[in-house]
Structure 1
């Protein structure tokens, strides 16, 4: 940081005249006399602490020096702070269990191949789980034989209205096409076309145009070598590439302007009836891996208050049957299954025991009782001074 700051300072002060003398705080010797011009050599011994003593006749440059001084000191303070925090962490003791003198933890990093059920996402909230993994020869492929890597369900776009993923796909497709075209021109030694094409791709940027004009063909080849798999594109969030610009790029790359291509079925070799949007986009593998989530339970621990099974893999819990799942079973007509789920398989304590006894005896009898969660509700209502009592006598109910 000091070296970088020093280089920037020397560039800033090159040829500038000192308004005051600059002295070494330790030895007291004069480094730069008033009226002398600053140079890289006479600024060499100047430390960061002495930056704010530098006087320049040009007030604008002096203000820039002050700003640079603040930036360098801030960066140095950040680094020192991080260093101190790490040292403190090393010096500070850990709370160990009684009788433990030293504890060693080893973290092992492992690579896991993608499997069905793993979660992936793009950058537009377009998350989803992998439903099928096929060998590469079974994947749909383009006319030139290039297979696609991922097939996304188009139904994930209209309902969520995150059209950004489509635009990103188009932009990626255009960038890939342009990169391949540039690589092809470099391979074919089409020097003239390559020079003009670089200018077109970069919106006739003066710097790129000048470079493409003045550079030797070898320098150009080295420059475009990194574009072999596609141009690198940066697009800001709210003022990014417009639809018109993306279409222009697609046209320049010699691709269809609608961003769609004819795809062929990898198994039958026949083309699909509809043209398909194919492109390049970022896809991330998320930490929600199916191997960590897979979980099954027969019997296990129950909550003390509600007597319902605990939840989650860590507690060896059961699967929660929510409102919508209940509706699904109701619609299906699985009344007895639903009754089991909500009583004897959950918080009907007496019913659980009876179910166990009937299984032991070899009988298939379901006697559902009162769920414990109902008793909790009754107790809460009684705590609110509401008199709730359960009547079991059928004669009283008739009256």
Structure 2
């Protein structure tokens, strides 16, 4: 028996509809909605999407920090033309983006300057239609979601030409420098920063707070400390040293430029690692004033940790100060002006929230892989992460752990339209921030407003370039309605940060 539906259609189906059909375009629509947060009141907006991009790039100050431009809020006005009008006229279906900015002055000499809060036009941004597409210059386009490597830590194995198995761990962040740990044919573990700069992993461990051989060996439970007295040392004659015996002292000298007395820590290697202690060595150690020595533990299987001892042998640094200066030298190809500058560069590379971000996904995956319970807000690396990754690699070398399959879908994630736009707005606003800084420096004590500092074309050009030329911005398949929906739900491994057709091997193509 036929029955009428809500929209007055006659329905002849005999089976009742059991479940609601899902919205097949929800992936595109929801992602774009979350990015702009238009329907969310300004005070309740979450720190994500467009709001997060502004928060990351503001406040902006001039070089003397006299003027500060702060971000207050953004508004998006309704579109000027409808979708159909844009298609007919060959226009872009877009909405005006305006930001409320506050300009303050910290210069005590410029007392007349009043704090100005002003709404500034930043350009028209393409807006998604109800059907999940964008109209760019009258043509409907789709931003295809991208399958890319998930942030986190990945362990891999490769074979050297001589058959030796080489193991590596790569930490892939959402934003920032890549760091990789890898073993070589001589069973030495190195750290690589951005695949270029290479140094022993123990140098990095020293630089992050484990300055002495004893500190490093204690991480793996490999050291036994013996007090450097004659009686104690005589009992351990014929045993092997696990760490260098260093004689340390402080030298004072007068700086010719400033006339200040400067102290410098010096050290001299008395006995090398793996040296077998003799009766003659006892007198040398006692006379040098060394407080204690480090020996190999008898109850530990040292062969499991041979890689650490080999790496220590390759490590030329003996202290935290020497390690940070050595890393600075590798990264900058020049000597560090002072110790603090060298420390700051390591801090900014991996432990600074401004320069480095694992993302929630990256932190979750690292926690899961290494058995940690750190908060999802901990988006930078920690010393604990680095130590556990080194330990996991040692487990791989000793066949006590498993490598990851980088091409497995569990190690990939989907970058939706909102996330791709977040990246592009980040690029555009970073360029705009540089321009603002330059204009602030030029305008010394002149009266100026936020609108005088902003060039709207900077952001618009980046966004328009993305929609017009990016590999993931594609002309919509309009063969039939099904082809249209399929195109919007498609995922691609190509595009920026993904694979290229030339480099994609058989393993990646395997489903």
TM-score of the pair, normalised by structure 2: 0.17
TM-score of the pair, normalised by structure 1: 0.21
Greater helix proportion:
1
Bigger relative contact order, structure 1 or 2, given CA contacts below 8 A and separation 6+?
Answer: 2
Greater strand proportion:
2
